[in-house]
Amino acid sequence: MTGIVLLGPPGAGKGTQAIRLAQELILPHISTGEILRQNVKDLTSLGEEAEDYMNRGLLVPDALVAKMLTERFDRPDVKKGFILDGYPRNISQAKTLDDILSSKKLDISTVFYLDTSDEVIIQRLSGRLVCKVCGLNFHIKNIPPKNKGMCDSCGGKLYQRKDDSEGTVKKRLEVYKKEAAALIEFYEAKQKLHRLSADGNSEDVLKQIVEVAQKCDDTLKI
Ligand code: AMP
């Protein structure tokens, strides 16, 4: 099985890369942010508890996210592997992830750290558009949809995330940076971390990720 984790600041392109990588490698994409947004949309009790944290750019309490992730890893599609995006966000979550995976006899093959500068992050997030139906990301300038307001892939309506406003983006970056160094060290010590610059074109970044993933794991079906 192939377990890939994508780390990086908000705006590094984790979501975009994870969706493309999941298609290339034929593996399920697990995004904690997407699962939480779906819960908010569906007005579940988890969504109600999480919404305020999300709107303020803060992390949803670890216990809530851990429960949600454990349920996701109960589904049989993860047996062949997974692309995890948005988790872990701190050391406590990294340890929880190890516990969840070992209880299911799964493992992490590679962790990618998508290094991104603050200017690029702010520029990307302030123009980001997300498909309401399939979650695909676009950008007003960098990746404009073919038809205004409509997803190229499924025709779904595009919207701007509430937490992509400038003030909230700054808060999210601050929260991210506080925990990132420890997380990087954690996976470096396990010799699983690969850093790459994600400031450039998303196609080039994807190519680099696929190359490294293949080198680290010869069971990959491409
Ligand atoms: P994302 O789509 O990954 O940028 O996540 C959007 C928001 O969902 C974050 O700002 C957090 O409020 C929440 N969230 C997503 N993943 C996690 C996580 N692993 N732990 C806590 N909160 C999370």
Distance from the alpha carbon of residue 54 to the mean position of ligand 1, in angstroms: 7
Which 3-state string (H, E, C) describes the chain?
CEEEEEECCCCCCHHHHHHHHHHHHCCCEEEHHHHHHHHHHCCCHHHHHHHHHHHCCCCCCHHHHHHHHHHHHCCHHHHHEEEEECCCCCHHHHHHHHHHHHHCCCCCCEEEEEECCHHHHHHHHHCEEEECCCCCEEECCCCCCCCCCECCCCCCEEECCHHHCHHHHHHHHHHHHHHHHHHHHHHHHCCCEEEEECCCCHHHHHHHHHHHHHHHCCCCCC
pLDDT tens sequence across 118-135: 999 999 999 999 999 988
> Is there an atom of ligand 1 within 6 Å of 33 CB?
yes
Per-residue pLDDT, averaged over 133-142, amounts to 91
Average model confidence (pLDDT) for the chain? 94
pLDDT at 156: 97
Residue 221 has pLDDT above 80, yes or no: no
- Residue owning the nearest CA to atom 6 of ligand 1: 33
Res 100: pLDDT: 97
- Report the C-alpha gap between 68 and 198 in whole angstroms: 28
- The contacts of residue 155 (CB under 8 Å, 6+ apart) are 133
Q: What is the pLDDT of residue 216?
A: 81
The residue to mutate among 14, 59, 95, 172, having the most atoms of ligand 1 within 8 angstroms of its beta carbon, is 59
Give the pLDDT of residue 147: 97
pLDDT band at 106 (very low <50, low <70, confident <90, very high): very high
pLDDT computed for residue 167 by the predictor: 87
Q: Please confirm, yes or no, whether 75 is among the known catalytic residues.
A: no
Distance 205 CA to ligand 1 centre (A): 22
Beta bridge partners of 37: none
Q: How many angstroms separate the alpha carbon of residue 145 from the centre of ligand 1?
A: 25
Q: Which of 14, 132, 146, 171 is catalytic?
A: 14
Interval 155-207: pLDDT, tens: 999 999 999 988 899 899 999 999 999 999 999 999 999 999 999 988 999 99
- The confidence score (pLDDT) of residue 218 equals 73
Q: Is the CB of 93 under 6 A from ligand 1?
A: yes
CA 88 to ligand 1 center in whole angstroms: 9
